Amino acid sequence: MPTSLKHEKLTKNIIGVFYDVYNDLGHGFIESVYENSFMIALLEFGYEVGNQVKIPVSFRDRVVGNFEADIVVESKVILELKSASCLVPANEAQLLNYLRATDIEVGLLFNFGEKPALKRLIYENSRKRRRGGMSFLDALYQK
C-alpha cells in the first residue's frame, strides 16, 4: 500500500517553484534575492504566503524570543532558504526548531548553491511538547 507524504501536492509544487527560481537566477546572489523571487513565484501560483514571519518561542509559558521564518506557505509549510556552498546540519536544526515552535509539521530547506539542494523535514505535532499559551497560528493571525 503506497503511503503519501503530508502536504504532498503542496510541497511538490513548492519544490517545482524552487527549481524555476534557481533555473532563472542561478547561484551567487544573496539570500534575500532568492526569497523575494520565491515570494513572487509563489504568489503567481496563487498561494497564500508570508515572509520573515515571526515565530514566538516560549519557555515555561513565557515568550523568550522570536525566530523569523523565511517563508510560510498556506500556513502549512515553512521554507528556509540558504545561499551557501552546501547545506550543513545546523541548517536542518534551525528548521526543526521552527517546526518545533509552531503547529506546522512540514519544512523545506532549500540551498541556492552551485548545485541546487533541498531537504524535506517533518516534525509531527504529536511529538511536540506543548505547555499552554497561544499556538503559532493563533499568534500569526492575531495581528
What percent of the chain stands above pLDDT 70? 87
CA 38/CA 42 separation, integer angstroms: 6
pLDDT > 90 in the chain, percent: 75
pLDDT, residue 57, reads 87
Note if the pTM is more than 0.85: yes
What is the band of 132 on the pLDDT scale with cuts at 50, 70, 90?
very low
Burial 31-66 (b: 16+ CB within 10 A, else e): eeebbebbbebbeeeebebebebebbbeeeeeeeee
| 49 phi, psi to nearest 5 deg | -135, 155
Q: Which pLDDT belongs to residue 24?
A: 97
Confidence of residue 2 (pLDDT cuts 50, 70, 90): low
Higher-confidence residue of 136 and 103: namely 103
According to DSSP, the residues that pair with 120 across neighbouring strands are: 108
Model confidence pLDDT, tens digit, residues 97-117 = 999 989 999 999 999 999 999
pLDDT recorded at residue 95: 96
The whole-number pLDDT of residue 133 equals 45
